[in-house]
Every structure is written in structure tokens, then in C-alpha cells.
Structure 1
């Protein structure tokens, strides 16, 4: 859902007013799907009613975001623990290796261009989705889906400073090196290590709270 992604990424910050007709016009769709989407997002807690016909994006604090990132670390850590203990099947192993190769190619040139941010985000999402599937727990998936409703909590909502690509190279390259370490632990069946590494991988985001606080309310 486009609106959910815009809220999660901070493109629509807390306090933004959303009305059915202008939102439908901006998205180039009819009013009915927008009306349904707004109601769903209200039920999920992302929007609050603002009069009879409008909504506002719910404001969240930096503390809310930090807590949500920490929760993601716990849940993804548990998925990594289960994946390591279960053992990677050939499909998961191949998919994770491909993610590592794609990331290696991205960082091999020693710098990033603006388009690389989207390429990294795509690879990162694939890595996390494969790991989550390898964990084999619907309960973890559902818990993550609920947690992901908060802005910036989802792995699909990468906050990046495109005006400082040198910094982003260092940050994302470090995150990718963590991907390598996680895969190594998974491949060796080291559950406790995989869990700890995934928690650290999520929590590393918190070293860049300036990116988050600049977009939250």
C-alpha cells in the first residue's frame, strides 16, 4: 500500500492532513480504494480522524521509533536463531548468497551514487525476507507486521541522507558486512551467534538517530 509506505518512510510525517479527494488525485486512482485504505490505516493506528472527512498522520516520538527498532531486532534475532537451528535449505542458501554477491558488487567501486540507495534497499529487503522465511514462524511474521506499522521500524523503510553519500557508503557497507556475518552463523548452525548478530544489525540503526529524528514528529 503506497500510503502505508509513505508514512513508514517519513515521506508523510506526523500531523500531515489526508483527505479522500486530493489523496486520490495525487495517487492517480479513484476515490473508493483511497477511502478503504484510509479506513484500514486508521484501524492500524497510523491515522487519526480529523473531522468528518479527513485524517491526520499519527505523530510518533523518537522514543517510539527506537523501541520499535529494538523490537524488530528481538524478533529478527529469534527468526535467525530458528533458521540456524533448522538449517538452511538449498533455496534459502542460494538466495542469501545472491544477496551477499549483489551487495558486494554494489560496494566494490568504493562509493555510492544516488541510485545505489534503492538497489541496496531492494537487496536488504530480500535478505531479511529470506531469513524470516527460513525461521519458519508465522507468529514472528505477524508480530513483525504489527511492529512495522510505526514509521522507520520496517526494514522496508530505509532512512538515508542522499546529500551525504560518503556517510551512507560507510553506514550501508558496515550493515552489509553484518549480512555476511549473519550468513556465516546461519550456514554453520550457530543459533545464539546468529540471534545476537541480527539484534545488533537492527540496533545499529540507532546510531543514526539524527536521520530518524529529522523525519519524526
Structure 2
């Protein structure tokens, strides 16, 4: 069972990479047998990985069997980001109103201090952006734990798995822009403010801050889609431009 599950995870990760890198472009057919031959993994974990990627929304089942890589309208992605902001806002308000576990607050503060160290550099290289993505993801997971609600934490995880709705979905794509570091500094200020609001038991303020926090991702979405480099960016090619 453990070996089979590990094979499923590996297949899922590899398939996601093929899609986001453009090796499997939007509209291309993803046949189970072809993927088995390509990845050298048995059919059972491949089938499970394909089902998982369908749940994530990266592929869709075809009437005649098999799957196809999906593309997304700009509105699809915007709605997914808005949904994440709504759920995270609810989580932040719940954490503030119920009172967050002290040990989780301590861990969240430690993560934010680590992010402060990353952003203290005058210029951020690829390693710095990767480190930010790792820490940012950890902070958002801890936010789910602050509400002490397994149900809300699961909903946060589900929403973040929607295509391009994760907290750092557009960070790497924006890493080469002059405004990238400034945008991360603003996002980090939101992190500290929402944590302070939760500690102060200010539910409405905590919720409003997380809703506003998602607006940064909305701005990043617009910037990336409008960029002249849009078609060269891994993953972003799945997003259809308006018009």
C-alpha cells in the first residue's frame, strides 16, 4: 500500500510538471496508457493520479475516455483567487473570535520573522524567491491551524489546490519584474497585521485584511496575463487572455 501510494504521488507530481511546463499543452489528450509508457509507472497509480488532477481542475475527462489538459479564462482564475480570499478571511475571523492556540501563533510569528530576513535583502535572486514561496505557503497552512477547525483547514487546502489559486501562484512568474520585491513587502505587512488582529481578537479586521491580501494575487494575475512574456511562462500559458 505504501509503495503504491508513493507511486501515485510521484506520478501526480510528474504529470503536473508536464502540464505546467507546457509539455502537455492545453487541449492535448492525456491517455492513460500513453502516460503509463511515458512515466514507466503501472496503471493503478496513474489512474489515481489522473483522478486527482481532474479534481484539482488541471485536466477534464473526455466523453470517449481519457482526459484532456484544460485551459482557463482569466475570469476562472480571478474567481478562484476570490474564493481563496473569502475562505481565508473566514478562517482568520474564526481564529480571532475563538482565540488561537498560543503554540501555533508562536510558530506563525517565527515563519514571518524568517520571511522578514528574506525580504531584508536589497535584491532578491531565484533562491530568495523560492525560499519566500516555501515560507509563505507555510504561513498560510498555519493560518488554517489558528482557527482550530479541521473542517476550515480542509476547505483552505481544497481552495488553494484550485488552478492558480495557491498563495504563491504568481510569485515566481513575477520575480523578474521591478515591482516584485515591493509587492512581497506589502504582502508581508498584511501577514503581520492579520496575525496582530487575530491576537487582539479583532475578527472583522482579521477577515478584511485577508480579503484585501488576496487582491495582491489579483493584481499579479492581471500583470502576468498582460505581460508580453505570457506565452513563455510555464503554467501561465494555460490561462486564456481576454478578448
Which category of TM-score, normalised to the shorter sequence, fits these structures? Answer: 0.7 to 0.9
Length-normalised TM-score, structure 2: 0.76
Partner of 2:224: 211
Is the 1:20–1:53 contact (alpha carbons within 8 Å) kept by the matching residues of 2?
no
- Tell me: CA distance 1:211–1:28, structure 2 relative to 1, closer, same or farther (3 Å): farther
- Tell me: CA distance 1:44–1:177, structure 2 relative to 1, closer, same or farther (3 Å): closer
Residue 14 of structure 1 aligns to a residue in which SS? coil
Please tell me whether residue 95 in structure 1 is matched to residue 81 in structure 2: no
- Tell me: CA distance 1:163–1:25, structure 2 relative to 1, closer, same or farther (3 Å): farther
Partner of 2:132: 120
Residue 30 of structure 2 aligns to a residue in which SS? strand
Is the 1:121–1:158 contact (alpha carbons within 8 Å) kept by the matching residues of 2?
no
Q: Structure 1, unaligned stretches of length 5 or more?
A: none
Shift of 1:196: 0.5
Q: Equivalent of 1:2, from 13, 18, 22?
A: 13
- Tell me: CA distance 1:126–1:66, structure 2 relative to 1, closer, same or farther (3 Å): same
Q: Equivalent of 1:153, from 165, 171, 179?
A: 165
Aligned residues: 216
C-alpha distance in structure 1 between counterparts of 2:175 and 2:157, whole Å:
30
Q: Equivalent of 2:116, from 87, 104, 123?
A: 104
Q: Equivalent of 2:89, from 77, 80, 90?
A: 77
Is the 1:152–1:212 contact (alpha carbons within 8 Å) kept by the matching residues of 2?
no
Shift of 1:10: 4.2
Partner of 2:6: none
C-alpha distance in structure 2 between counterparts of 1:165 and 1:44, whole Å:
29
C-alpha distance in structure 1 between counterparts of 2:178 and 2:38, whole Å:
33
Shift of 1:28: 6.0
Shift of 1:158: 4.2
Partner of 1:86: 98
- Tell me: CA distance 1:19–1:160, structure 2 relative to 1, closer, same or farther (3 Å): same
Length-normalised TM-score, structure 1: 0.84
